[in-house]
C-alpha cells in the first residue's frame, strides 16, 4: 500500500464518517480511530454487546463468545519474551523435532526456539531452569519485540 492509497483511504473514511477502521493489506496493518471512543464490552444472554459512549448506540453481534480463563498469578511462572522482531521457529530444521514442547524441562542456556531476523537465525535460550507450561506463538509466526513466547514454571 503506497502513500496515495493510504491518503485515499483516510479521505474515504472521513467522507463516510467512519469512527473506526482496521485494515490489513500487503503486510501493513492500519488502524484509524476518530474521536474518543470508550468501548464497554459485556456479555448478555450469550450475545456480545458493545456500547460506544460517543453515540450511546448498542450493537449486538451474533459472534461466539470467547471465554477467557482466569489464571491466578503464580510468581513461579515467568514469560520468555522475544528480544527482536522476526519469524518464530520451533526447530532449526523443518524436518527436525521442536527444541522444546509443553511439559519439557529446561535449564538455563537451553535453546527454546529460533527467531529469524534479516536472514539471520537467532537462538533464544532459556533464562532460567523450569518446565515449559505454555507456548504462546505458533511455528513460523511473526513476533514483535517484547512479545511473550513461552511460559516457564521455575523450580
Helix (H, G, I), strand (E, B) or coil at 71: coil
| Letter string b/e over residues 2-22, b meaning 16 or more CB atoms within 10 A of that residue's CB | eeeeeeebeeebeeeeeeeee
- The 10s digit of each residue's pLDDT in 39-97 is 444 444 444 444 444 444 444 444 444 444 444 467 889 999 999 999 999 998 888 88
Which of the given ranges, 1-5, 9-13, 49-53, 71-75, has the highest pLDDT on average? 9-13
Whether 72 maps to a domain, the answer reads no
> For residue 82, what are the domain limits?
77-154
User: 0.85 exceeded by the pTM?
Assistant: no
Q: How far is CA 19 from CA 14, 22, 33, 37, 123, in A?
A: 8, 10, 6, 8, 43
Amino acid 66: pLDDT: 42
Stretch 22-51: mean pLDDT, rounded?
A: 58
Q: What is the pLDDT confidence band of residue 12, given thresholds at 50, 70 and 90?
A: confident
Does one domain contain both 81 and 148?
Answer: yes
Does residue 91 sit within a domain? yes
Number of domains in the chain: 3
Amino acid at each position: 500500500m503506497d502513500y496515495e492509497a493510504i491518503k485515499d483511504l483516510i479521505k474515504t473514511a472521513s467522507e463516510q464518517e467512519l469512527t473506526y477502521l482496521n485494515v490489513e493489506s500487503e503486510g501493513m496493518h492500519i488502524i484509524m480511530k476518530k474521536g474518543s471512543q470508550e468501548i464497554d464490552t459485556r456479555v448478555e444472554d450469550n450475545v456480545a454487546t458493545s456500547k460506544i459512549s460517543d453515540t450511546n448506540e448498542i450493537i449486538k453481534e451474533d459472534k461466539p463468545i470467547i471465554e477467557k480463563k482466569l489464571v491466578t498469578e503464580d510468581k513461579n511462572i515467568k514469560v520468555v519474551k522475544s528480544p527482536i522482531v522476526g519469524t518464530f521457529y520451533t526447530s532449526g530444521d523443518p524436518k527436525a523435532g521442536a527444541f522444546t514442547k509443553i511439559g519439557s524441562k529446561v535449564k538455563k542456556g537451553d535453546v527454546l526456539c529460533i527467531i529469524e531476523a534479516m536472514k539471520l537465525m537467532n537462538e533464544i535460550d532459556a533464562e532460567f531452569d523450569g518446565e515449559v507450561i505454555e507456548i504462546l506463538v505458533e511455528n513460523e509466526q511473526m513476533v514483535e519485540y517484547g512479545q511473550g513466547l513461552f511460559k516457564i514454571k521455575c523450580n
